[in-house]
């Protein structure tokens, strides 16, 4: 559907002072080329100045009448198809600008002709014509706007010439072409071709074809191109026109987006060309079209009596190709599928051809004979026209039946302002029409900003201001109107650069206490307040926000009051609103918010009343619904709130439980929790406060993620080791004892008897650090921790004391190094060796009783020393176990040959009697 608005995209117009009737014309860079009709065989060149003023630069002769012509910005050359003696020729005019300085010298050469250096020096001051012979007559041409390559359409084939820059010497570079590809297509008679960045569009009498050229690596030294058909989108009846448009960056001609447009007599189609060929827009003309030209901002169409200007969706598609954040809550852009509109239908007599150049439209009009007659007679003009009434003018002075106009399009800013003003007529009547027109204005400005010459534009600052303003207007629409796309208020306001305070002033009237607030406004406010913004609303603006949410979405009041933006809100006013909401919809989050506000007011009685309303576990879970009651982000860093500071002093267990709940519900990361507790306890970066250790221990109780568990086990282990080795006590009392942890957490195990046995021997200097020691031993007794990873952390605890010994033996046991563990115990604490063996040497390891422990005890018992009685006692215990487990012969073979018979005889008797009984 095409909407019609009566705007004014066209400004002043001037007549191009052509000496002869134009047959064809085209534009390039800052000039206009006009090829005369068959009689003169000349091309006139005009410089296009400000406001469309034309200045004749000169003219040059062609071989014959020009049938087609095109200019390439890359290389600044003009290419033509000319006819002479019923033969057609393809020619490229290089260095044509030299003729404006008065030079009449022309060099004609064949494509690929090798030039001698002495001869080529003259090329600096003369126009060079390159002739490109073809086996079949050329029918149509197109130049690639990115690299200047040339595409020629012939019957049943397409021929591509690559533009080459030949460096003759240090002071001279000339242009030439090299035929690089011939693409054969059966039954093809191209009416028009378009070429851009290895994409080819071809129209025939019935079809539109789009081809993409791909580079194919055939060998190390040879790369060839092949063509791949992308699509044949529509059937073109009665002829069609094809055009491509590309967006480029300022510093390099990099293709951003590619589009294909073709036109039938009464309808036009615009496609985007990417991985897929997709139809963007369909244009319905009011009458039969003569020609259509696509630009990044507009589609211009001429009919028998009109120049029409349509909007296009190129900038909407290109913006999405360029910016992945569009169509998110961060950025928005009117949809590619937005209905196009007609901005203007300008009456002209006999439009015949047009082209586009920067902010100018070049329009050729040629009146029929009856039109000229009617203009001279003030009588009513006949509406019917007949083809045979069109006659050639023989004297342009006496019969001015044609004109070549340069029509200036108004500046983007001027047309934008008119569109914005026009949209206000729909503001209170037609919501969708207002949004539609403002969307068109936004796309108009966006297209101007995406223009490769934008950075050099005199309107740069004005365009950027207009862009932000258009975003603000669209934000207003989606906030005020009841529309299904209400969520777009958020990204448009973000792109506008408006602060929340400024948006509130636009949408909330002073003293307006009862009104309906639309979903878009509430959506914008909710998301803005829930973000970690640095903006702080004034007391007045904060009260406005409270009023808006109380009427529109009272459930959100507790959440928005926790926003950093609402720091200046009056707490008493906020409590009054919450009390009203609580009567309708009580909740734990609402109660916690009231407690938070009570702390702000210094009302501890109210605080305690609110906190006593729920059990501690319920309160801890309540923080999941609104983490910002405890922590807020400032410049990406998690900061504790006044509420968190108070809980640290008065209810640290609740604070830890709440933080654990936040972590388990993905509301806070482990590293963020570390920072939170360090800041809360005013600890340095390298100091670990006890409250953080309490958090780690509590998290170990509930966490089910193995990666997190291992990280936590290493952290608490490191802290226990550090405090034990440095003789440091925690600055606050731990929330849980070792016994509590063993009873509640599977990662803390019962301490083995042999560990207790070792610790019972020796000095009592470690008793002050008993909690950390027992925690560490309990961790290692649980077998949850990865010992290989923990060994570097445990390194500070040497074997010199009992604590270090238990840790080393536990580590070796974890690693399966039982023999090393036995050696360590026999050397340092033989009392515990049998306790260790009874606990650890079972199953597959039972053989170590007689293979390791028994021989070691026998060997050490022979040596006299303080440990003699202990070793003898341990040996007897070991012999008792071995006697039960082994056959008499095997048991006898283990006994030392020089052993005392009286010592070993009871164990031999026990072993033999066990055999008789069995």
Q: Which residue has the tokens 């010497």?
A: 169
List, for residues 341-354, the tens digit of each pLDDT value.
999 998 998 899 99
List, for residues 829-843, the tens digit of each pLDDT value.
888 888 888 888 888
**Enclosing H/E stretch for 343:** strand 341-347
Question: Torsion angle of alpha carbons 272, 273, 279, 283, nearest 10°?
Answer: 50
Q: What is the DSSP letter of 853?
A: I
Secondary structure of residue 309 in the 3-state scheme: strand
Q: What is the predicted pLDDT for the residue at 275?
A: 81
Nearest by Cα to 874 from 892, 885, 888, 860: 860
Q: What is the predicted pLDDT for the residue at 581?
A: 94
Q: What is the DSSP letter of 161?
A: E
Q: What is the predicted pLDDT for the residue at 673?
A: 94
The pLDDT > 90 percentage for the chain reads: 57
Which has the higher per-residue pLDDT, 104 or 577?
A: 577
Exposure on the CB side of residue 185, measured as CA atoms within 13 A? 22
Could you tell me which residues are beta bridge partners of residue 633? 638
Cα separation of 260 and 241, whole Å?
A: 10
Q: What is the predicted pLDDT for the residue at 331?
A: 95
Nearest by Cα to 264 from 305, 203, 307, 209: 203
Token digits for 484? 């299904």
Secondary structure of residue 56 in the 3-state scheme: strand
Backbone φ, ψ for residue 406 (5° rounding): -110, 115
Q: What is the predicted pLDDT for the residue at 885?
A: 73
Cα separation of 35 and 45, whole Å?
A: 9
Token digits for 464? 């950027």
Indicate if the pLDDT at residue 876 is higher than 90: no
Cα separation of 668 and 683, whole Å?
A: 20
Sheet hosting strand 208-219, strand order edge to edge: 192-196, 199-203, 208-219, 222-231
List, for residues 249-269, the tens digit of each pLDDT value.
444 556 778 899 999 999 999
Q: Distance between the two ends of the chain, CA-based, in angstroms? A: 102
pLDDT band with cut points at 50, 70 and 90 for residue 241? very low
Token digits for 209? 């074809």
Could you tell me which residues are beta bridge partners of residue 402? 366
Exposure on the CB side of residue 198, measured as CA atoms within 13 A? 12
Q: Which of 122-126, 451-455, 570-574, 612-616 has the lowest mean pLDDT?
A: 122-126
List, for residues 70-85, the tens digit of each pLDDT value.
999 999 999 999 999 8
Q: What is the predicted pLDDT for the residue at 387?
A: 31
Token digits for 480? 């005020």
Q: What is the DSSP letter of 851?
A: I
**Enclosing H/E stretch for 640:** strand 637-640
pLDDT band with cut points at 50, 70 and 90 for residue 914? low
**Enclosing H/E stretch for 362:** strand 360-366
| Sequential DSSP letters for 518-585 | -HHHHHHHHHHHHS--S----HHHHHHHHHHHHHH-GGGHHHHHTSGGGTTS-HHHHHHHHHHHHHHS
pLDDT band with cut points at 50, 70 and 90 for residue 825? confident
Indicate if the pLDDT at residue 539 is higher than 60: yes
Cα separation of 42 and 19, whole Å?
A: 10
Cβ distance 871 to 844 under 8 Å? no
Cα separation of 265 and 274, whole Å?
A: 27
Token digits for 445? 């400005």
- Mean pLDDT throughout 36-44? 84
List, for residues 407-444, the tens digit of each pLDDT value.
999 999 999 999 999 998 887 776 888 999 999 999 99
Token digits for 137? 């007559």
Indicate if the pLDDT at residue 371 is higher than 60: no
Number of helical H runs and strand E runs in the chain = 32, 32
Indicate if the pLDDT at residue 230 is higher than 50: no
Nearest by Cα to 313 from 290, 300, 331, 295: 295
Cα separation of 411 and 359, whole Å?
A: 8
Cα separation of 559 and 546, whole Å?
A: 11
pLDDT band with cut points at 50, 70 and 90 for residue 397? very low
pTM, to two decimals? 0.80
What lies within 8 Å, CB to CB, of 262 at 6+ separation is: 201, 203, 208, 234, 236, 240, 241, 242, 243, 268, 269
Q: Are strands 306-311 and 298-303 parallel, antiparallel or unpaired?
A: antiparallel
Which has the higher per-residue pLDDT, 872 or 716?
A: 716
Token digits for 109? 């050469």
Indicate if the pLDDT at residue 193 is higher than 50: yes
Sheet hosting strand 127-131, strand order edge to edge: 66-72, 77-84, 87-94, 127-131, 106-110
Which has the higher per-residue pLDDT, 705 or 769?
A: 705
Mean pLDDT of the chain: 85
Q: Which of 281-295, 356-370, 592-606 has the lowest mean pLDDT?
A: 356-370
Q: What is the predicted pLDDT for the residue at 766?
A: 62
Sign of the CA dihedral with 515 first, then 520, 525, and 526 last: positive
Cα separation of 738 and 65, whole Å?
A: 102
Cβ distance 224 to 204 under 8 Å? no
Backbone φ, ψ for residue 435 (5° rounding): -65, -40
List, for residues 146-169, the tens digit of each pLDDT value.
899 999 999 999 999 999 988 877
Q: What is the DSSP letter of 59?
A: E
- Mean pLDDT throughout 613-620? 95
Phi-psi region of 522 (alpha: psi -120 to 50; beta: other; left: phi over 0): alpha
Indicate if the pLDDT at residue 374 is higher than 80: no
Token digits for 470? 């258009």
> Which range, 58-72, 168-182, 752-766, is most confident?
58-72
Sign of the CA dihedral with 448 first, then 450, 452, and 457 last: positive
- Maximum pairwise Cα distance, the chain: 151
List, for residues 685-697, the tens digit of each pLDDT value.
778 999 999 999 9
Indicate if the pLDDT at residue 217 is higher than 70: no
Q: Are strands 127-131 and 106-110 parallel, antiparallel or unpaired?
A: parallel
CA distances from 470 to 310, 420, 517, 568 (A): 20, 8, 22, 31
Residue 334 CB neighbours (<10 A): 22
Cα separation of 562 and 667, whole Å?
A: 15
Indicate if the pLDDT at residue 240 is higher than 50: no
């Amino acid at each position: 559907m095409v909407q019609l608005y009566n705007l004014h995209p066209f400004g002043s117009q001037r007549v191009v002072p052509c000496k002869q009737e134009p047959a064809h014309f085209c534009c390039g860079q800052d000039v206009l080329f006009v090829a005369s009709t068959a009689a003169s065989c000349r091309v006139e060149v005009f410089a296009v100045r400000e406001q469309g003023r034309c200045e004749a630069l000169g003219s040059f002769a062609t071989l014959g009448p020009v049938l087609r012509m095109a200019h390439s910005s890359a290389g600044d050359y003009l290419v033509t198809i000319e006819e002479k003696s019923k033969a057609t020729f393809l020619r490229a005019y290089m260095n044509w600008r030299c003729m404006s300085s008065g030079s009449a010298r022309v060099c004609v050469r064949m494509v690929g002709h090798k030039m001698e250096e002495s001869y080529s020096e003259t090329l600096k001051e003369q126009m060079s014509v390159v002739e490109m012979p073809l086996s079949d007559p050329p029918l149509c041409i197109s130049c690639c706007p990115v690299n200047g390559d040339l595409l020629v359409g012939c019957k049943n084939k397409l021929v591509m010439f690559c533009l080459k820059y030949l460096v003759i010497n240090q002071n001279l570079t000339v242009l030439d072409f090299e035929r690089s590809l011939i693409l054969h297509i059966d039954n093809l008679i191209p009416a028009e071709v378009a070429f851009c960045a290895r994409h080819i569009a071809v129209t025939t009498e019935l079809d539109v074809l789009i081809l993409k050229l791909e580079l194919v690596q055939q060998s190390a030294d040879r790369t060839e191109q092949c063509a791949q058909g992308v699509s044949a989108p529509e059937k073109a009846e009665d002829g069609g026109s094809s055009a491509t448009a590309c967006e480029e960056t300022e510093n390099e001609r990099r293709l951003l987006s590619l589009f294909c447009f073709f036109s039938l007599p009464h309808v036009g189609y615009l496609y985007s060309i990417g991985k897929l060929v997709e139809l963007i827009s369909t244009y319905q003309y009011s009458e039969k079209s003569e020609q259509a030209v696509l630009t990044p901002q507009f589609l211009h169409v001429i009919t028998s009596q009109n120049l029409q200007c349509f909007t296009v969706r190129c900038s909407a598609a290109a913006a999405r190709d360029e910016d992945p954040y569009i169509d998110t809550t961060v950025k928005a852009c009117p949809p590619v599928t937005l209905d196009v509109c007609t901005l203007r239908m300008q009456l002209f007599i006999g439009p015949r051809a047009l082209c586009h150049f920067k902010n100018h439209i070049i329009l050729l009009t040629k009146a029929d004979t009856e039109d000229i007659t009617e203009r001279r007679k003030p009588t009513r003009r006949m509406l019917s026209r007949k083809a045979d009434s069109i006659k050639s003018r023989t004297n342009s002075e006496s019969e001015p039946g044609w004109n070549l106009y340069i029509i200036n399009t108004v500046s983007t800013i001027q047309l934008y302002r008119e569109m914005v003003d026009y949209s206000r007529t729909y503001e209170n009547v037609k919501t969708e029409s207002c949004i539609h027109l403002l969307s068109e204005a936004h796309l108009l400005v966006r297209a101007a900003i995406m223009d490769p010459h934008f950075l050099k534009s005199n309107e740069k600052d004005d365009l950027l201001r207009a862009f932000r303003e258009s975003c603000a207007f669209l934000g207003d629409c989606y906030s005020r109107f009841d529309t299904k796309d209400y969520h777009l208020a958020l990204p448009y306001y973000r792109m506008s650069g408006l602060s929340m305070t400024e948006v509130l002033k636009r949408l909330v009237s002073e003293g307006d206490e009862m009104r309906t607030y639309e979903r878009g406004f509430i959506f914008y406010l909710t998301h803005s307040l829930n973000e970690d913004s640095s903006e702080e609303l004034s007391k007045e603006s904060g009260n406005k926000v409270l009023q808006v949410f109380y009427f529109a979405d009272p459930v959100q009041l507790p959440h928005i009051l926790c926003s950093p933006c609402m720091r200046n809100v009056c707490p008493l006013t906020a409590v009054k609103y919450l009390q009203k909401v609580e009567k309708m919809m009580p909740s734990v989050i609402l109660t916690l918010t009231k407690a938070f506000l009570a702390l702000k007011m210094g009302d501890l009685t109210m605080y305690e009343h609110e906190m006593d309303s729920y059990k501690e576990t319920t309160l801890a879970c309540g923080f999941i619904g609104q983490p910002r009651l405890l922590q807020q982000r400032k410049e990406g860093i998690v900061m504790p709130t006044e509420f968190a500071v108070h809980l640290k002093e008065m209810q640290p267990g609740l604070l830890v439980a709440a933080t654990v709940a936040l972590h388990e519900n993905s509301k806070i990361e482990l590293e963020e929790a570390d920072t939170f507790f360090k800041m809360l306890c005013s600890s340095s970066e390298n100091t670990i406060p006890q409250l953080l250790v309490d958090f780690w221990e509590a998290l170990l109780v509930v966490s089910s993620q193995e990666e997190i568990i291992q990280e936590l086990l290493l952290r608490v282990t490191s802290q226990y080791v550090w405090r034990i080795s440095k003789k440091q006590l925690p600055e606050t009392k731990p929330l849980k004892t070792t016994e509590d942890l063993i009873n509640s957490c599977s990662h803390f195990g019962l301490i083995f008897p042999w560990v207790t046995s070792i610790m019972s021997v020796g000095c009592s200097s470690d008793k002050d650090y008993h909690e950390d020691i027992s925690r560490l031993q309990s961790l290692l007794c649980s077998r949850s921790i990865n010992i290989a990873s923990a060994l570097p952390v445990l390194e500070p605890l040497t074997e010199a004391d009992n604590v270090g010994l238990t840790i080393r033996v536990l580590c070796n046991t974890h690693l399966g190094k039982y023999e090393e563990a036995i050696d360590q115990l026999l050397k340092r604490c033989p009392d515990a060796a049998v306790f260790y063996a009874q606990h650890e040497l079972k199953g597959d390891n039972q053989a170590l009783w007689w293979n390791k422990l028994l021989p070691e005890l026998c060997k050490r018992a022979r040596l006299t020393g303080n440990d003699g009685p202990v070793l003898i006692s341990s040996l007897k215990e070991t012999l008792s176990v071995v006697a039960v487990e082994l056959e008499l012969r095997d048991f006898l073979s283990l006994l030392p040959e020089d052993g005392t018979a009286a010592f070993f005889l009871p164990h031999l008797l026990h072993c033999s009697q066990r055999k008789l009984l069995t």
